[in-house]
Amino acid sequence: MNLRLISFGNSTIGLRYDDGRPTEMVDFLFQNITGSNYEEPWTTLRLEDHGGDEGFWLWQDDTLLFKEESFEIMANSLMSQVCFTLAYESKAGLLLHSAAVRTEEKGILLPGRSGAGKSTLTAWLIHHGFGYLSDEMVFVASGSDQFRGFTRPITIKSPARHLLPQLLKKERLVNGILQSESLDMVAPEQFGVQVVKNLSSIDLIIFPHFEASQGVQLARLSKAEAAFELMKCLANARNLEDHGLSEAVRLAKTTPGYSLGYGDSAQAERAIRQLVMI
Amino acid sequence: MKMNLLAKPVQKPDYHLEMMDGEMLLYHLNETTILYLNETASLIWQLCDGRQTIAEIITLLSEAYPEAAEVMAAEVEETVQQFLTAGCILIT
């Protein structure tokens, strides 16, 4: 069985997987994510392919988590489980539910909980020239003014699929796109984009919230409002001294924060580009 | 429900405060709840010391901000009610 270490946010897990389809799945999901050779994994996930009706089995240590026939659904479940498991033991910094992109000059956090439109907006932005860091989670080490993104494939849920028709009319795993009924997972390289695996500066924090048929509503947040919003997006608060409050406050004090309501990704892009110019 | 303006609100202990430009984050370490308070709500929180009645808080803030005096009573009552709902004050 193969073993891959996956590290993020001072948390390392092991992932064991069979040859064949599990290897194809793991290579697709984690091609841009490295593991630390210096940290012991605190737990190990194991992906088995039993074929036929039995399909894929995903274990965490000795516990069977999921059985699933569908390659695409298991790929999504595996990615979700890896994110959850990394966050569970993440420490010494803020692990945020946040997308992240950057221009040449500026790194931009896009924090938001599920449904805020992070992934769709990220896909739009990188399709239009922004560098890609993550569509789901970022880590800011304590005391640092830089962050790292979890550079997974971009996950577009079916309600937003119509926004990217030219990109998603591809077959399964052809050209790095994995399609299922409920979502599409797209390798960021598909957008012809630069994947930023290094640390990036934190220059803007923009909290997006998608609402169909609304125009762009951009508002500068006070420091307290930004810190409050950051706390709502924190995924590892239980592992942090004072539940991460002092670090969220530090970040909000040093980085301008904005609320961005939008119903159209092109309008949101224009608003973000204006902020980048400031 | 009509609020008793002679009641004296008092902060519960164990809240961690972060003041930023007059606004405040109020965080309870054990209950892992967090509240954002704008400038007015921050002032009201600081006046919830168990010595002053709600009516006295309204008077103090109306004198300090005469341009907002007309709406101050409603704002104080609403904010105190929010504090009660969040569980961060007691009424004595």
In this structure, what CATH number is given to the domain that contains residue B36? 3.90.930.60
Report CB contact under 8 Å: A228, B18.
Answer: no
In-domain check, residue B37 = yes
Residue burial A242-256, b: 16+ Cβ < 10 Å; e: rest: ebbbbbbbbbbeebe
Task: Give the gap in angstroms from C-alpha A120 to the nearest C-alpha of chain B.
Answer: 29
Task: Identify the CATH assignment for A93-277 out of 3.90.1690, 3.40.50, 3.30.450, 3.30.70.
Answer: 3.40.50
| pLDDT reading at A170 higher than 60 | no
Return the domain boundaries, chain A.
Answer: 2-88, 93-277
Number of structural domains (chain B) is 1
Chain A residues within 8 A of B25 when measuring between CB atoms: 224, 227-228, 231, 245, 249
**Is position B32 within any domain?**
yes
* ipTM of the shown complex: 0.79
B52 found inside a domain? yes
Residue in B36, B38, B45 to test binding to A, most A beta-carbons within 10 Å: B36
Q: Are A4 and A47 in contact (CB under 8 A)?
A: no
Question: How far apart, in Å, are the Cα atoms of A21 and each of A27, A45, A61?
Answer: 10, 16, 21
A74-131 pLDDT, tens digit each: 999 999 999 999 999 999 999 999 999 999 999 999 999 888 889 989 999 998 899 9
- The percent of residues in chain A predicted with pLDDT above 70, rounded, is 95
In B, which residues are within 8 Å of A221 by CB distance? Answer: none
Q: Cα dihedral angle (A250, B18, A92, A131), rounded to 10 degrees?
A: -40
A contacts of B24 (beta carbons < 8 Å)? 224
Contacts of A257 in chain B (CB under 8 A): none
Closest-CA residue to A16 (of A30, A3, A28, A29): A3
pLDDT at A174: 55
What separation, in Å, do the N-terminal and C-terminal C-alpha atoms of chain A show?
52
B19: helix, coil or strand?
A: strand
User: Could you list the residue range(s) of the whole structural domain that residue B81 is in?
Assistant: 9-91
Say whether A237 sits in a helix, a strand or coil. helix
B32 contacts A224? CB cut-off 8 A: no
| Cβ–Cβ < 8 Å for A210, A120 | yes
**DSSP assigned state of A222:** P
Residue A171 predicted with pLDDT over 60: no
pLDDT at A80: 96
Q: What pLDDT score was predicted for residue A172?
A: 47
Res. A164: pLDDT tops 80: no
